[in-house]
A = this chain, B = another copy of it.
Amino acid sequence: MKTFRSLSVILFATACAATAAIKTEVVEYREGDTVLQGFVAYDDAKAGKVPGVLVVHQWMGLTDYEKKRCEMLAELGYVAFAVDIYGKGVRPANTGEAGGLAGKYKGDRALLRRRVNAGFETLKGLPKCDTAKTAAIGYCFGGTTALELGRSGAPLSGIVSFHGGLSTPTPADAANIKGKVLALHGADDPFVPPAEVAAFEQEMRTAKCDWQFVAYGGAVHSFTQAAAGNDNSKGAAYNEKADKRSWAAMKEFFAEIFR
């Protein structure tokens, strides 16, 4: 994996108003010749290295949503890096474009793995990051991608998928997964149907992964995203209880894997 290791911080660090110690930076990095633009958040008041969490975006690309999650992770004491799978400036304007872009990368898993691994290398290159303690989390398309990072053999301590697609063209690659896996799923998610869940469980079982699967009753796709509204009949909607419970489950999971 060739990665442009020298980070080029293109915006100076800015203190977060609500939590003065949280620093955030936009980070430019590369995968091959492609320039990518990620985002890092960490607690500047915390001494020494801390576990690193990669955050993989939804189909709309890296947005304020993922940045907010990075800040929340920084408040928990981690250094969080939101990757950019699509490339600098490549941000879908609507769901049609988002579907096209997400589809492109889901259809080319080799490219997807290179892109997410470039982000992972960037995370590990951050001065704050304890490279022996890393995890990847992702939302929707990002959940799929975080799992694919694991299947590529990345030395992660853990992977958390939030309402992610669970299918892969190469389930045998689950044998490469180094860390523990936690899949957090809306029980009524029409985009990740029971057959896909069952195939994922079988994949984890066959590979003898350390895995857990949580289904949240009454939750559909995008249950962590307030902007998704509250109409379950659309198949994607916010669910405050599932949002809070899944975040708590992730925290508990991190407490275990980063112990």
Q: Interface of A with B (CB < 8 Å)?
A: 181, 187-188, 194, 198, 201, 204-205, 208-218, 241, 245, 248-249, 252, 256
**Are B217 and A214 closer than 8 Å at their CB atoms?**
no
Per assembly, the copies of the chain total: 2
Across the interface, A210 reaches (CB within 8 A) one of B194, B204, B215, B241, namely: B241
In whole Å, how far is A224's beta carbon from the nearest beta carbon of chain B? 15
**Are A188 and B217 closer than 8 Å at their CB atoms?**
no
Which residues from chain B contact A198 at a C-beta distance below 8 Å?
A: 194
DSSP majority for the A interface? mixed
**Are A201 and B187 closer than 8 Å at their CB atoms?**
yes
Which residues from chain B contact A256 at a C-beta distance below 8 Å?
A: 245
Which residues from chain B contact A216 at a C-beta distance below 8 Å?
A: 212
A221–B256 Cα distance when bound, in Å, is 23
A215–B202 Cα distance when bound, in Å, is 12
Across the interface, A211 reaches (CB within 8 A) one of B181, B217, B252, namely: B217
Which residues from chain B contact A214 at a C-beta distance below 8 Å?
A: 212-215
Across the interface, A201 reaches (CB within 8 A) one of B210, B211, B212, B215, namely: B215
In whole Å, how far is A105's beta carbon from the nearest beta carbon of chain B? 27
Which residues from chain B contact A241 at a C-beta distance below 8 Å?
A: 210
- A210-B241, A252-B252 are known contacts. Are A187 and B215 too (CB-CB below 8 A)? no
**Are B205 and A210 closer than 8 Å at their CB atoms?**
no
In whole Å, how far is A172's beta carbon from the nearest beta carbon of chain B? 17
In whole Å, how far is A164's beta carbon from the nearest beta carbon of chain B? 16
A198–B187 Cα distance when bound, in Å, is 11
A205–B189 Cα distance when bound, in Å, is 13
> What 5 new A-B contacts, CB under 8 Å, besides A212-B245, A213-B215?
A187-B213, A188-B205, A211-B217, A212-B217, A245-B252
Across the interface, A205 reaches (CB within 8 A) one of B208, B217, B248, namely: B217
In whole Å, how far is A195's beta carbon from the nearest beta carbon of chain B? 11
In whole Å, how far is A47's beta carbon from the nearest beta carbon of chain B? 28
**Closest chain B residue, CB of each to CB of A210:** B217
A169–B190 Cα distance when bound, in Å, is 28
Across the interface, A248 reaches (CB within 8 A) one of B188, B208, B218, B252, namely: B252
**Closest chain B residue, CB of each to CB of A217:** B211
A256–B247 Cα distance when bound, in Å, is 13
Nearest 10 CB-CB pairings of A with B: A211-B217, A213-B215, A214-B214, A204-B217, A248-B252, A212-B216, A212-B217, A187-B201, A209-B217, A252-B252
10 contacts between A and B (CB under 8 A): A187-B201, A194-B198, A204-B217, A205-B218, A209-B217, A210-B217, A212-B216, A212-B245, A248-B252, A249-B252
